[in-house]
Amino acid sequence: MTSLNSDALPRPWWLLPLGHFHSWWWWPAGAALVAADYAIGPGTPFPLIYTLPVIAAAWYSGRRAAVTLAIVLPLAHLLFVAAWWRPEHWATIMATTTVRAGVVLLIALWFGRLAAHEASLTRHVKALEGLLPICAFCKRIRNDGGEWEGLESYISGHSTAKFSHGFCPQCQTIHYPQLDETN
């Protein structure tokens, strides 16, 4: 009969499912990556794996959690690399950390905005699909419970649409001809 389906268009396979997690879930993930980074050593020029918890935090916990991780993870990497490298390489260490933090921060902001946009679209777009059994005379719709419901109340209950009422020119002429004479 009728169905309310907010996923009328198929979701792309690469788009993460919507949801929300508390921001503290990303700290163990970030700590595990920092520990792995420490175990691997300072040889990795740009640990791309740092972007994964930042992307997940942006998508599921918001921009603030992602930006915090985007700053903390490169700084933790800086501390571990500084323990291995000689003091004459501080300029290189600082430069790579700044670039790393900038790129990861950009990814955090980008995915944070994308997640907010996706959530906003999901909230604001509701579609009625399928065939609506509607009375040819009174225009009431038979709902899933088999009861007949007014058109406005049915659509209002199954979408975020609002109604304002007026008269089309033909109905105004038929039902309120005196209004045509005054114009």
Q: What is the pLDDT of residue 132?
A: 82
Do 31 and 83 fall within a single domain? yes
Do 36 and 62 fall within a single domain? yes
| Separation of alpha carbons 6 and 17, rounded Å | 13
pTM of this prediction?
Answer: 0.55
| Separation of alpha carbons 83 and 87, rounded Å | 9
Q: Which domain holds residue 105?
A: 14-124
Residue closest to 115 by CA, chosen among 2, 180, 19: 19
Phi, psi of 136 (to 5 degrees): -70, -20
Whether residue 6 lies inside any domain: the answer is no
Do 26 and 107 fall within a single domain? yes
Domain count, the chain: 2
Do 107 and 135 fall within a single domain? no
Q: What is the pLDDT of residue 149?
A: 93
Whether residue 58 lies inside any domain: the answer is yes
∠ CA 38-40-44, rounded to 5°: 100
CB proximity list for 18: less than 8 A, separation 6 or greater = 118, 119, 122
Do 47 and 62 fall within a single domain? yes
pLDDT (tens digit per residue) in 124-179? 665 566 678 888 888 899 988 889 999 888 888 877 778 888 888 888 888 888 87
Burial class of residue 66 in the structure, from the number of CB atoms within 10 Å of its CB (0-12 exposed, 13-18 middle, 19+ buried): buried
Residue closest to 62 by CA, chosen among 99, 15, 25, 7: 25
Do 134 and 118 fall within a single domain? no
pLDDT (tens digit per residue) in 15-51? 666 666 776 677 787 788 777 777 776 666 556 777 8
Cβ burial 91-113 (10 Å sphere, 16+ → b, else e): eebeebbeebbebbbebbbebbe
Whether residue 7 lies inside any domain: the answer is no
Whether residue 32 lies inside any domain: the answer is yes
pLDDT (tens digit per residue) in 59-83? 888 888 888 888 888 888 777 777 7
